[in-house]
Amino acid sequence: MPANQKTEDKKTEDKKTENEKNRTDTANLFKNPDGTEKILKRLRDLTDPARPLRLMEICGTHTMSIARAGLRGLLASDDFAVDGFLCPGHVAAVIGSDAFAFLPEEYGIPAVVAGFEAADLLYSILELTALAAAKTPALRNTYVRLVKPQGNPAAVRLMRQVLTPAADTWRGLGVIENGGLAIRPEYAAWDAARKFSLPAFQDAEPAGCRCASVIRGALSPDACPLFGTACTPADPVGPCMVSGEGACAAAWRYGPAGLS
């Protein structure tokens, strides 16, 4: 083997190691109680209790088109009051973190693509808070161990092959053009909705449910008249009371005083 070839190999190897290093999440540095304390302290320093920041966790939006169309629909509402977006890591693993770049670029709202472990979320909230407090519209990816800017092109190709953007109903927001996915005509034989003549999804909001306002950051969960009375995690009325990720479910479980 010629000497210069060896040097080339070594260079490639070094480059690889460097890439690996860069791909290690900063969030990993905070996977201990001291790290958590540091994050909490920095969060306290960054925020002003008199002017709380409203951060929104986005769930779903499984294609670029849904992310754009759906979030644009959301951003267009008059009472939209969110200072930053926490973007879904596993969606971004497929469609790429770049899919959320339009949020800071076009709307001036910072966004952070986050992982799901406690340290991931805490660190991502810190990053987002720092951006929001400084009014810096930027996109950050704190889940680099899984998420690339361009995502997973093979998966995106497959989705495009079978599915196509279509109008869909978002709870509390109504029908959003290109806000959902439909099965392409070539694959209609496998479309359960056609095959079994399923009725169209009904979007009648239950009486009194204020999830739409909670989602937009315009209403805090405990201000909803159904909160904790007609609507509880065991018997939810609206989507915000469902699962550990629902804003109302978390507010109901921990209460205003939390656990500390």
Q: Which residues of this chain interact with another protein, rule CB under 8 A?
A: 31-33, 35-37, 58-60, 88-91, 116-119, 122, 233-234, 243, 253-254, 259-260
Supply the minimum distance, in Å, between the C-beta of residue 17 and another protein: 25
Residue 245's closest CA among 53, 44, 88?
A: 88
Supply the minimum distance, in Å, between the C-beta of residue 136 and another protein: 25
Q: Which residue number, 83 or 120, has a Cβ lying nearer to another protein?
A: 120
For residue 248, report the phi and psi dihedrals to the nearest 5 degrees. -70, -40
Q: Which residue number, 34 or 45, has a Cβ lying nearer to another protein?
A: 34
What is 37-72 written as a DSSP string? HHHHHHHHHH--TTS---EEE-----SHHHHHHHHH
Q: Which residue number, 177 or 245, has a Cβ lying nearer to another protein?
A: 245
Burial of 22 (0-12, 13-18, 19+ CB in 10 A): exposed
Spatial distance between the Cα atoms of 124 and 112, rounded to a whole number of angstroms: 6
What is 195-236 written as a DSSP string? HTTPPPPP--PPTT--HHHHHTTSS-GGGSTTBTTTBBTTB-
Name residue 114's beta-bridge partners.
88
Q: Which residue number, 33 or 185, has a Cβ lying nearer to another protein?
A: 33
Supply the minimum distance, in Å, between the C-beta of residue 53 and another protein: 20
Rg of the chain over CA atoms, in angstroms?
A: 21
Q: Which residue number, 137 or 233, has a Cβ lying nearer to another protein?
A: 233
Q: Which residue number, 79 or 222, has a Cβ lying nearer to another protein?
A: 222
Supply the minimum distance, in Å, between the C-beta of residue 93 and another protein: 10
How many Cα atoms occupy the beta-carbon half-sphere of 219 within 13 Å? 16
Distances (CA, A) of 41 to 34, 35, 37, 139: 11, 10, 6, 23
Supply the minimum distance, in Å, between the C-beta of residue 61 and another protein: 8
Supply the minimum distance, in Å, between the C-beta of residue 142 and another protein: 15
